[in-house]
Amino acid sequence: MTKFDFDWQSIDNEKLIGTCWLPENQVKALICVVHGFGEHIGRYDQFAGFWNTNQIGVMGFDLRGHGRSGGKRGDTPSMKAFWEDIRQFLALASSKFPDVPLFLYGHSMGGNLVANYVLEKKPDYLKGVIMTSPWLRLAFSPPALKVFLGQIVEKIYPQYTEKSTMDTAGLSRDLEVVKAYKTDPLAHKNITVRLFGTITLGGKRAIDEASNFSLPLLLMHGKADPVTSMWASQEFGKKVQQELITEKYWEGCLHELHNELNRDEILALILEWLNQKL
C-alpha cells in the first residue's frame, strides 16, 4: 500500500489537507471519501486497507473546520463552500487518476453533503455514490427551545459554538473504535449554529428533492443508529428512482458501519455493488 498526503487552497484561502491510499498494483477504481462531523480522514486507514487489497484506491480530505484542514472548528460559511471544496477535491482526483472510475462516498454529515452535491451539480462523470448513515435528520430531537434560540443566534452571530451532545458510545459496538475516538486529538465536538442550520436545511432539501438524484446509489444505515435517523434515510430512498438505488439496513448496527463489528460483511457488500457498477 502506498500512502501520501496532499493539500490545496480553497477559493476562500483555507488550506485543505487530504490523504490518498493506493494499492501496489493496478488501481481499478477510486473511492473519494467525504467524512462525517467531528472526525477526519485519518480515521479511515483500516477502511482504506480493505479497498487496497481489492485493487481499489481511496482518497479523502479533512473537511474545513475538521482535522488538519483550516477553518474554525465545526463551522462552514455555507453549503456552497462545502460544494466548492468537494468539486475541487473531485477535480484533483480526476487529474491524478484520469482513466480510473470514481465513486463518491459520504458518511454521516458527509452523506448529507454528497447527496446535496449530486442534486446540485449532477456530476455525471462519477460511476456511483455510496452513502452510509447520512445525517439527513438526527436520530433524536434536540430541545425545541434550544433549536429556536439557535435560529435566532444564527442571524446575529452565526459562528457561535456549542458542544455536540453526541454520545461516542453510539459510534460502534467495537469498543476499541469508541476508545480511539475519545482519545483522538483531531476529533472534536464543536459545532456552530451556522453549521447545524446548514446541515439541517440540507437534510430537508435532500429528502424533498431525492427524486432528482441522478446517479447509481448504494444507501446503507444501521437499524440501531442512535446518531442519525434511519427513517430519514428510508424516506430519501423511497423517492430516488428505483432503478438507481440499492438499499441495505443493518440489524443491530450503530452509526459507523465501516467500523462495526461485522465490518467485513458490510464492506464485502459495498465491494459487490461497486464491482457490478464497474
Q: Are 90 and 123 in contact (CB under 8 A)?
A: yes
* pLDDT value of residue 143: 64
From 173, 262, 190, select the one nearest 226 (Cα to Cα): 173
- The whole domain housing 60 covers 2-277
Number of helices and strands (H, E) in the chain? 8, 10
**Residues with Cβ < 8 Å from 233, sequence gap 6 or more?**
131, 133, 134, 136, 219, 221, 249
Q: What is the CATH number of the domain that holds 29?
A: 3.40.50.1820
Domain count, the chain: 1
* pLDDT value of residue 147: 67
The 3-state DSSP class for residue 161 equals strand
Q: What is the pTM of this model?
A: 0.95
- Distance separating alpha carbons of residues 266 and 5, to the nearest angstrom: 27
Amino acid at 49: G
| 133-179 confidence digits (pLDDT tens) | 999 999 977 766 566 666 777 777 788 888 888 889 999 999 999 99
| 207-253 confidence digits (pLDDT tens) | 999 999 999 999 999 999 999 999 999 999 999 999 999 999 999 99
